[in-house]
A and B are shown apart, each in its own frame.
Chain A
Amino acid sequence: MSAPNMAVDLGGIKMHNPINTAAGTYGFGWQFEGFYDVSQLGAITTKGCAAEAWPGNPKPRMCEVTSGVMNSVGLMNPGVRGLVEQSGEYLQGLSDKGCAVICQVAGHSVDEYVAAVELFEELAPFAAGLEINISCPNIAAGGCAMGSTPDGAAEVIRALRPRTDRPLLVKMAPARVVEVAKALEAEGADALSVINSIPAMSIDVHTRRSRLSRPTGGLSGPCLHNIAVRMVWEVAHAVDIPVNGVGGVMSGADAAEFILAGATSVSVGMSNLVRPDSAPRILSELVSWVEEQGVDDVNDLIGAFEC
């Protein structure tokens, strides 16, 4: 049997395979070039960038918990101009090699999201799509405050949709996912990334202090994988636009689980940080799984879960 087709279409973003990376765990892609040729991935999603640079939160920004990490990075980013100056040439080259470059967009308000999208439109021809992060748990305004309700989420996409023809993904908060997904679809979102990290707490019982610089942070890693699979399944049933599954993917089987639940593509997140060569390994395991399933197209397995 010849190699199966692994190419997928994530709401207009053409990916030569379903493996993507989770923003915030992948820098701007070039950080991984020492470990493997990044262009073998179907897509990468770059660190969320706002119109202006953000300094992020104070230390400590990370603590380890059972089967995961909590972070409070606070979307530290160089701004869209900084991204383009530092990494634009690399990202253009990556795009030229056939890897879709998805740029994540950050903001504290609708106006800030608009400003960032306009800058990407002007400065980032390499962006195959824009992922709107309305679900960061670690910023004082915007983020998951806007993304956790259908109205708040819809307001952002309503403002952005007329400003770009590029595919718009939305990084969703792990809250009211079905209602929010329907609202986003109605406003013209092209695809949904499900889910962002889950707001969580970790307390040092000896000092009685948070183990992060803020009381709460975002939990990610394999501990939340099965919550994410359930949410992908719910969203995929509720909307017609494609879903990018995100959450605790450490193996090809984890990625396959998302695809069976209805995801068109899958982002590798925390695994990139603890084992920097993991995304190509996960891709290779996923290809083996598709072959083992006896189909010649990975698309035949999207949503093929049977209860």
Chain B
Amino acid sequence: MPTPSAARIHEFEVVSNTPVAEGIWSLVMRAPKLAEGLSSGQFMSIAVPGDATQLVRVPLSFSKADPVKGTVETEYAVVGDGTRRLSLMRPGDTSDVLGPGGHGWRLESHPRRVLLVAGGIGITPIVSAARWLAREGVEFDAIVGTKTVNTLWGFDELMSVGVQHVVITSDDGTAGDQGFTTDALEPALAGGEYDLVLTCGPEVMMHKVADICAAVGVACEVSMERMMTCGFGACATCVVPTRSGNVGACMGGPVFDAKEVVW
């Protein structure tokens, strides 16, 4: 039989849940088995309490899984009712979480140097990727895009795990260079230092990142966001069009080889 998802249902307890930037919250939950099982770039789906009429789990990426403390950290944007209710959870509150979901970043190309490109809340799995690259001893730089300085999160975390260079871009110029991550990407790739780009952010941004990488022959992995119902390959609602047809982001992704995605 095909391999079922490794996801299981884990009870969790909120350790902390606080705003870290405008519209962005950081949740740390205690879920030891999940913390042991998560690989960078995978996702989890949280049953968020607070409204008995809203049943679908909220799928989120994570920035840090600490198997020693048994905790998982995620930064999430409060964009809808599910994330609004999640932001109301307080330390000590409990619920359950399904994970680990899908497969994460790959290092199949054995990169020498990696460029991370994050847009908006796409920073969360990018910070996780940074921690993982640091553990693997792979050097990396980052481009981080934000709307304004108030919505910026992740710079300190990237610095603390050993990023070499970080370029910040903001839509309004209040942080770093005014413009988009893709404006900074082309010159960054011109030097030929990178053999892999990992990106997560708005789909229009990832599409452009993928095109730029393809044009200069640099491998690129994209972390795709989709509405998900089950998160383990049963419902076929989260598909991403690929060269091999529609593939569920929850099992075939969320991380895809950018060359495989039909944008």
Interface, chain A (partner B; CB < 8 A):
24-27, 30-35, 47, 53, 55-56, 59-64, 66-69, 71, 73, 76, 86-87, 89-90, 93, 221-222, 270, 272-277
- For residue B263, give the distance in angstroms from its CB to the closest CB of chain A: 12
Chain A residues, Cβ within 8 Å of B7 = 34, 276
CB pair B4 A274 closer than 8 Å: no
CB pair A61 B53 closer than 8 Å: no
Q: Which one of B52, B56, B232, B246 contacts A76 once the chains associate, using CB atoms below 8 Å?
A: B246
Q: Given A61-B237, A73-B235, A76-B236: A34 and B6 within 8 A (CB)?
A: yes
CB pair B234 A32 closer than 8 Å: yes
Chain B residues, Cβ within 8 Å of A24 = 235-236
Interface, chain B (partner A; CB < 8 A):
1-2, 4-9, 47, 52-57, 98, 226-230, 232-239, 245-246
CB pair B9 A276 closer than 8 Å: yes
Q: Return the 4 tightest CB-CB contacts between A and B, nearest first.
A: A90-B1, A62-B237, A27-B234, A273-B230
Q: Which one of B1, B227, B230 contacts A61 once the chains associate, using CB atoms below 8 Å?
A: B227
- For residue A40, give the distance in angstroms from its CB to the closest CB of chain B: 16
Q: How far is the CA of A280 from the CA of B233 in the complex (A)?
A: 19
Q: Given A27-B234, A35-B8, A64-B55: A273 and B239 within 8 A (CB)?
A: no
Chain B residues, Cβ within 8 Å of A62 = 56, 227-229, 235, 237-238
Chain B residues, Cβ within 8 Å of A63 = 227
Report 15 cross-chain contacts, Cβ distance below 8 Å, ordered by A residue: A27-B233, A30-B1, A30-B4, A31-B234, A33-B1, A34-B7, A35-B9, A60-B227, A63-B227, A68-B55, A69-B229, A90-B2, A272-B230, A276-B234, A277-B9
Chain B residues, Cβ within 8 Å of A66 = 53-54
CB pair B234 A26 closer than 8 Å: yes
- B230 to chain A: closest residue by CB: A273
Most buried by A among B232, B237, B245: B237
Chain B residues, Cβ within 8 Å of A25 = 230, 234-235
CB pair A55 B56 closer than 8 Å: no
Chain A residues, Cβ within 8 Å of B9 = 35, 275-277
- For residue B10, give the distance in angstroms from its CB to the closest CB of chain A: 12
CB pair B2 A87 closer than 8 Å: yes
- For residue A186, give the distance in angstroms from its CB to the closest CB of chain B: 34
Q: Given A33-B1, A64-B55, A270-B55: A59 and B234 within 8 A (CB)?
A: no
- For residue A84, give the distance in angstroms from its CB to the closest CB of chain B: 13
- For residue B38, give the distance in angstroms from its CB to the closest CB of chain A: 16
- A66 to chain B: closest residue by CB: B53
CB pair B236 A89 closer than 8 Å: no
CB pair A69 B56 closer than 8 Å: yes
Q: Given A34-B8, A59-B227, A67-B53: A273 and B1 within 8 A (CB)?
A: no
Assuming A33-B4, A35-B8, what are 14 further A-B pairs, CB within 8 angstroms?
A27-B234, A56-B239, A59-B226, A64-B55, A67-B52, A69-B55, A69-B229, A87-B1, A272-B230, A274-B57, A274-B230, A276-B7, A276-B230, A276-B234
Q: Given A61-B227, A64-B56, A273-B230: A73 and B237 within 8 A (CB)?
A: yes
CB pair B245 A55 closer than 8 Å: yes
Q: How far is the CA of A86 from the CA of B1 in the complex (A)?
A: 7
Q: Which one of A55, A68, A89, A93 contacts B246 once the chains associate, using CB atoms below 8 Å?
A: A55
Q: Which one of A34, A55, A59, A64 contacts B4 once the chains associate, using CB atoms below 8 Å?
A: A34
Q: How far is the CA of A26 from the CA of B230 in the complex (A)?
A: 10
- B4 to chain A: closest residue by CB: A34
CB pair B232 A276 closer than 8 Å: yes
